[in-house]
Amino acid sequence: MAVYSEKLRLRSGVTLKNRLMMSPMTTRQSFFDGQITRDEIAYYRERSQGLGAVITGAANVQAGGKGWPGELSVASDDMLPRLHDLASAIQSQGAKAILQIFHAGRMTSRATLSGE
């Protein structure tokens, strides 16, 4: 039987400090363009305490693949500074940061994409 407080070594070689993880949840806290907000960073920092890993909510990989307003984005390099801040906030609590990537495909809407 697994003990949740035991370290967990992943196949990649990464070791988690324990077996507790926060699953991805949609928070809709990012700006309209997908930039991460200070509130979103604070949300993840607070919830990272005591966990081995945190999986972020869905992050669109292409501007045209946005699924809903407030969704964080990794669609362009200008997102990197705030993504770095997000990862650092999670890691500051001793947890590993995992990004959930996403593309809404045909399920997105014109309203979500500002008419495009």
- Residue 38 in tokens: 């200070």
Cα atoms found within 13 Å of the Cα of residue 8, Cβ hemisphere only: 15
pTM, to two decimals: 0.89
Report pLDDT for 111.
80
DSSP string, 15-67: EESSS-EEPP-----S-TTSPPPHHHHHHHHHHTTT-SEEEEEEEESSGGG--
Counting as low any pLDDT under 70, the low residues of the chain are 115-116
Q: How far apart are CA 32 and CA 10, in angstroms?
A: 35
* Contact between residue 44 and residue 56 where contact means Cβ atoms under 8 Å apart: yes
Q: How far apart are CA 65 and CA 72, in angstroms?
A: 11
Report pLDDT for 101.
96
